[in-house]
Amino acid sequence: MHQEKLTGYVNSIETELERYTDAEGEWSGLVRAMRYSLEGGKKIRGVLALAFCELCGGELEKALPLACALEMVHGYSLIHDDLPCMDNADLRRGKPSCHAKFGEANALLAGDALLTLAFGAIADSSLPDAAKSRAVSVLSAAAGYKGMAGGQFMDLKYEGTRIGAGTLVQLHSLKTGALIRASAVLGGMAAGAGGKTLAAIDRYAEKLGLCFQIVDDILDRTADAEELGKPAGNDEKNAKNTFVSFYGLEKAEEMAAGLSREAKEILNALDGNAGFLLWLTDLLLERRK
């Protein structure tokens, strides 16, 4: 039942994403690079938006543009992360990364275009104007220098440098966690959830975001490229600060499991049927890619 719901969410997001891009015209090559970079993947950020909208009693149609905006921002971040000036990765989701297929310049433009299109999707949504404004504020903060971009800056800044536990958490809370938190909160906002509920959703997503990153760090150490759909062992090769490099594999696994338990405790305290989100939280802890 939960797997069917997940598949339905993903299909809705993928169908809607296609609607946002017009492949006709002089820019058709750019659109191909954009669409290519949105294909595949788990669509977890968009799914979180839809699931929390439903949990809070909202209409999924209200949250769908926000889900697409989140996936556009995530897609842009992956394009830029893979560039030679960043992580220099030629494989993503089991296929050549955007710059490996379309060239660096076109990949850069595709990322730029996806980022800006994300805010257009919010502006064109059927949400009330006040809700649109709040959504833009939440997403821009999550993606900007105090969010994902700032986390990526810290990631590059501290390559090869030993950092403290607090800085490690801050780095990954920004680089990975900020957009995951925004995803869950935007879903609640689309449903008109109140401040107390949104605060609880944010606390859940904060735990989930760190858990998600720790599992990523574990998989980079333990899985192979075929399983991951991207190069394995890049963190160690690039001297990244990860939870595995800092705490070791066993402790990192314990931390991820603990964060997952805490996240589910928050879910259980929310009103509504959290069955799907509880299942999804377990799925993300146990994933192999």
CATH number at residue 97: 1.10.600.10
Measure the CA–CA gap between 15 and 217, rounded to whole angstroms.
Answer: 31
Q: What is the pLDDT of residue 225?
A: 67
Measure the CA–CA gap between 80 and 219, rounded to whole angstroms.
Answer: 21
Q: What is the pLDDT of residue 23?
A: 74
Q: What is the pLDDT of residue 232?
A: 61
Pick from 69-83, 172-186, 224-238: least confident: 224-238
Query: What's the mean pLDDT in 206-228?
Result: 88
- Measure Cα distances from 167 to 151, 241, 243, 257 in Å: 10, 10, 11, 21
pLDDT at 1 over 70: yes
Q: What is the pLDDT of residue 64?
A: 98
pLDDT at 242 over 70: yes
pLDDT at 223 over 80: no
Q: What is the pLDDT of residue 226?
A: 66
Q: What is the pLDDT of residue 94?
A: 86
Q: What is the pLDDT of residue 193?
A: 96
Number of domains in the chain: 1
Q: What is the pLDDT of residue 289?
A: 78
Percentage of the chain lying above the pLDDT 70 cut: 97
Measure the CA–CA gap between 126 and 42, rounded to whole angstroms.
Answer: 26
Query: What's the mean pLDDT in 238-261?
Result: 94
Pick from 29-33, 119-123, 170-174, 219-223: least confident: 219-223
Q: What is the pLDDT of residue 233?
A: 67
Q: What is the pLDDT of residue 25?
A: 82
- The residue assigned the tokens 């595949």 is 40
Query: What's the mean pLDDT in 66-90?
Result: 95
Q: What is the pLDDT of residue 229?
A: 66
Q: Which among 191, 162, 36 is positioned nearest to 98, based on CA atoms?
A: 36
Q: pTM for the whole thing?
A: 0.95
Measure the CA–CA gap between 88 and 146, rounded to whole angstroms.
Answer: 24
pLDDT at 166 over 70: yes
For the chain, the average pLDDT equals 94
Segments forming the whole domain that contains residue 52: 2-286
